[in-house]
Amino acid sequence: MVKRDVLNTQGSLMMVKVELKKDFYADVDRHIEEQISYIEKGSVEFEVGGVKRILKEGDSQYIPSNIEHRVKVIEDCTILDVFTPIRKDLIDK
């Protein structure tokens, strides 16, 4: 399960709160926007450009523009994602 709440879209930045359930495994994603993901709660395995890393509460992950990435949820988590520029595809949903 994925729950997304767009928290702010001002200037060239966007903040999105994402809630994911344990065992969720995302499809590979790629977008032109740069992204930083902050783990507010729980733990996940981030794969960015083929490199896997376990992140837990308080950790963050930078994702450059146009790099393939995905997430596998180890325990229920809340992630704060910041994008630049704004991801219009997330506003339109």
Identify the CATH number of the domain in which residue 19 sits: 2.60.120.10
pTM of the predicted protein model:
0.93
Q: Is the pLDDT assigned to residue 93 strictly greater than 60? A: no
Q: What is the residue range of 65's domain?
A: 2-91
3-state secondary structure the chain: CEEEEEEEEECCEEEEEEEECCCCECCCECCCCEEEEEEEEEEEEEEECCEEEEEECCCEEEECCCCCEEEEEEEEEEEEEEEECCCHHHHCC
Per-residue confidence (pLDDT) for residue 1, from 0 to 100? 77
- Structural domains counted in the chain: 1
Tens digits of per-residue pLDDT, 2-49?
A: 899 999 999 999 999 999 999 999 999 999 999 999 999 999 999 999
